[in-house]
Amino acid sequence: MTLKECYAAMGGDYEEAMGRLRSERLVQKFVLKFLDDGSYRLLCDSLAAGDRGEAFRAAHTIKGVCGNLAFNTLLESSEALTEALRDGRPPQPGEEDLIRRVQEDYQRTVQAIRTFQEGAPA
Amino acid sequence: MVAKQTILIVDDSEMNRAILADMLGGEFDIIEAENGKEGVAMLQKHGPEISLVLLDIVMPEMDGFGVLNMMNKYHWIEDIPVIMISAERGSSHIERAFELGITDFISRPFDALIVHRRVVNTILLYAKQKKLASLVTEQIYEKEHRSSLMIDVLSHIVEFRNGESGLHVRHVHMLTEIMLKALVRRTDRYHLTQTDISVISTASALHDIGKIAIPEEILNKPGRFTDEEFAIMKTHSMEGAKMLEALPFYQDEPLVKAAYEICRWHHERWDGRGYPDGLKEDEIPISAQMVALADVYDALTSERVYKPAFTHDQAVRMILGGECGTFNPLVMDCLRDCADDIQAELAGDDVQRRNQREVQNVARELHKHEELTASERTLELLEHERMKYTFFASLTKEIQFEYTVTPPSLSLTSWGAEKLGLPEIVMDPFQDPQALTIFDPRDRDNLADALHSTTPGNPVVTYDCKLHVGEEERWHRIIARASWSFEEPPRYTGCIGKAMDIHSSRLQLENLERQASHDELTGLLNHAYAKKRIMERMEDRPDGHYALAILDLDYFKSANDTYGHMFGDQVLKYLADRMRRSIRGGDIAARVGGDEFLIFLEYKDDLEATIDGIYNRLAGGRYENFQISVSMGVVSAAEVGTDYDTLFKRADQALYVVKNHGKGHYRYYHKENALMDKAISAVSPIDGEESAPQAQGEEEQV
């Protein structure tokens, strides 16, 4: 799997990422680094603990990182969740769907990166 | 030395920091902070070394706006440009960030080229601005300095030719300034600004330059002038004005204009009877009016060949009384207003200090108005000092620290931080749970109190206490110097200092003290030390009820003889041990020497019960084969007073009687028995050569 195919699999925009970071080496480096980023975990934990402020920050970070790497599918869902959590708003109907979507998109993204990682040159 | 410039990245996402660092790391040194609080700590630590801050908005602990608020509060924002990078798109966020002084806003997702270009541009812009600012500051300072220096030199040449001390010019300068300030307080009729006052006072130094054109024999004539000579003398004002008018340049300089007026008209008088032009009232420029008065005042209060020096009060009275020509009534009012100031200023004519203060004022004003930063040279000096300090600090194995009150932060040398298990910078150390474990709260408060009660003249505090280092508590000596601001009154701004590990020497000392105060064999107090403690106790509270018991192991000699000295020592240790367990908390037990011991105790009301309890726990039973039999004499302070030697002697006396009455019991000393006891003790010697101990059960009634 190439990096480009990895982007296709997760619903991201490879060209956009290249346009931003200007080198395939950098894009690859940060795509792989995404696997180690703790924000998703923090998001799940703080949602489970009912800490909506912390959850907002975590979602916000995911959104920022996805933006820079042009992980557009996850970007969209994390952005929607960020807005739902902003300013300590109480849960609105439909929030669970938003969370589920972020979870699905995250899994899809991570799955694509892992597949890419296995085939990538060390 | 071309150092890389430093960029501080403040972002809670490691990914984001890594992306930015990767984009910029080639050309810049990157330091990172993972939340706003840490970012502020970095700014505090690195200060102007940081050329640019890249700042995120949404972060835990303290967000980007919090950082900007702090940067505004401490004026860092004036020197360090901030580019905000955020995925926030609301224009209200962006607006607010610009209001707080950011230079640029880049929204996420960002483009590597754009970030790079904007960072470089901002840094270049600021560097240029900084350089220009310092150039301007230095030039202004240089210019001010040089021109006032030249004026001083010039006017002193005139004075020396005139055979005067050189003080006259200074005095006229000071008087003119004081009077002008008083005038401005009274009226705005003359539209004088602070700058005008400064220009006129400086120009006043030139009032007599025309005297350079006066022949020396007239200028320095000791006696009175002839009419002809006086006529020549009077030309000096016009001559000075002509000299200034003849200057090929600078005719539009306010300083030259003011000097011209002063030179030409400082001998004019309000009523029109002065020279050279016979101007009257406000035809005479206010600058010349003021210098005229200052000139007259200083002439009066100085000694001349033809007159003594008048005192300040005399001079003021003469001027106000019209003895020295007529002056503007308004100017006379000013003289009345500031007569006291004049006297004080002239008395403490510390020109050097004044000049310095002036320069400081100028510098401060410049700083405030032009928002100029400290000059490049100052920064270099500071940087050099900082490098020196860091280098030496890294060499010593000491915990060195600096505490600032605002913002509350504690910085430690890296060695010290590692030793204490703290970060090098702790914000809000009094709230930081980790930092709080280092100190016992009492020690911390004591130390803080001690530092707060120092004075700027005597700011150093030495304090010994235990610090929690690693896993153990160790004694440290803290030497700290409080910092006081230069304001009036001075404000406590923090402290610097170091903590030295004195644990082993402290333990040694304690050990030595212990050796000096304790009996080596039994571990009880020795007699000398016990005596000291007992005397202190009775002195502290003379109203207490005290008793002293002296006891002695019966048949000890036979134990030594039968089983050897080693065994004898064991027995003594055993008895000491039992004593420790028999007495109560506040009692004092000591070995007097040999097999003799003492117990000092304080009782409430029932001495008998207390003594009985102690004795019963102490005596009886065996140590191996040796029967523990104890004889004891007791005396109360109620009986013989609180003199230690008397107590000891009487208790010993009672013991003596016990020894001679079958041993193995105790007895009180009573005055009424003393005579009889004395008789008994005279008859039989104590502790004879008895054989094996007998069962000792009986106790003598008291």
Give the lowest-confidence range in A50-54, B178-182, B298-302, B404-408.
B404-408
Average model confidence (pLDDT) across chain B:
82
CB contact under 8 A, A64 and B87: yes
* CATH label of the domain that carries residue B409: 3.30.450.20
Q: Rounded to a whole number, what is the distance in Å from the CA of B6 to chain A's nearest CA?
A: 22
Let me know whether B333 and B429 are in one domain. Answer: no
Let me know whether B182 and B226 are in one domain. Answer: yes
pLDDT tens by residue, B229-269: 888 889 989 988 988 888 777 777 888 889 999 999 999 99
pLDDT the model gives residue A62: 92
Q: Rounded to a whole number, what is the distance in Å from the CA of A57 to chain B's nearest CA?
A: 6
pLDDT the model gives residue B458: 85
Neighbours of B361 (CB within 10 A): 12
Let me know whether B191 and B242 are in one domain. Answer: yes
CB contact under 8 A, A26 and B13: no
Let me know whether B195 and B326 are in one domain. Answer: yes
Let me know whether B569 and B660 are in one domain. Answer: yes
Q: Buried b / exposed e across B402-438, counting CB within 10 Å, b at 16+?
A: bbeeeeebbbbbebbbebbebbebbbebeebeebeeb
Which of B108, B16, B15, B12 minimizes the C-alpha distance to B60? B12
Mutate to test the interface with A, among B9, B11, B13 (most CBs of A within 10 A): B13
**pLDDT top residue among B210 and B692:** B210
- Residue B696 belongs to a domain: no
Contact between B225 and B233 under an 8 Å Cβ cutoff? The reply is: yes
Nearest CB to A20; choose among B58, B59, B109 = B109
- The answer to whether residue B630 scores a pLDDT higher than 80 is yes
Let me know whether B424 and B498 are in one domain. Answer: yes
β pairing state of B6-10 and B425-427: unpaired
* CATH label of the domain that carries residue A71: 1.20.120
pLDDT tens by residue, B338-372: 888 888 777 665 554 455 445 444 444 444 444 44
User: Percent of chain A having pLDDT more than 70?
Assistant: 98
**Contact residues, chain A, for B14 at CB < 8 Å:** 37-38
CB contact under 8 A, A30 and B14: no
Query: Span A95-112, mean pLDDT?
Result: 92
Number of structural domains, chain A? Answer: 1
- Residue B154 belongs to a domain: no
Neighbours of B249 (CB within 10 A): 7
Let me know whether B231 and B330 are in one domain. Answer: yes
**pLDDT top residue among A1 and B694:** A1
pLDDT tens by residue, B512-565: 777 788 888 898 999 988 999 999 999 988 888 999 999 999 988 888 888 888
- The answer to whether residue A44 scores a pLDDT higher than 80 is yes
Q: Rounded to a whole number, what is the distance in Å from the CA of A119 to chain B's nearest CA?
A: 23
Provide the domain limits for residue B276. Answer: 162-349
pLDDT the model gives residue B377: 57
Nearest CB to A61; choose among B12, B23, B111 = B12
**Contact residues, chain B, for A34 at CB < 8 Å:** 15
pLDDT tens by residue, B83-119: 998 877 777 888 888 888 888 888 888 887 888 888 8
- Residue B697 belongs to a domain: no
Let me know whether B483 and B537 are in one domain. Answer: no
- Residue B189 belongs to a domain: yes
- Residue B487 belongs to a domain: yes
* CATH label of the domain that carries residue B593: 3.30.70.270
Which residue blocks in B483-526 are alpha helix, DSSP H?
A: 503-517
**Contact residues, chain B, for A19 at CB < 8 Å:** 111
Let me know whether B575 and B643 are in one domain. Answer: yes
Among chain B, residues having any CB pair with chain A shorter than 8 Å are 12-16, 18-19, 22-23, 58-60, 86-87, 108-113
Let me know whether B523 and B665 are in one domain. Answer: yes
**Contact residues, chain B, for A33 at CB < 8 Å:** 15, 18
pLDDT the model gives residue A22: 80
Please report which confidence band the pLDDT of residue B159 belongs to, taking 50, 70 and 90 as the band edges: low
User: Percent of chain B having pLDDT more than 90?
Assistant: 19
Which structure tokens are listed for A4?
């480009």
- Residue B74 belongs to a domain: yes
Q: Phi and psi of B125, rounded to 5°?
A: -60, -45
**pLDDT top residue among B205 and B281:** B281
Q: Buried b / exposed e across B31-44, counting CB within 10 Å, b at 16+?
A: bbbbbbbbbbbbbb
Provide the domain limits for residue A99. Answer: 3-119
Number of structural domains, chain B? Answer: 4
pLDDT the model gives residue B164: 63
- Residue B698 belongs to a domain: no
Q: Phi and psi of B173, rounded to 5°?
A: -60, -50
- Residue B147 belongs to a domain: no
- The answer to whether residue B688 scores a pLDDT higher than 60 is no
Token pair 């931003």 is found at A20
CB contact under 8 A, A26 and B112: yes
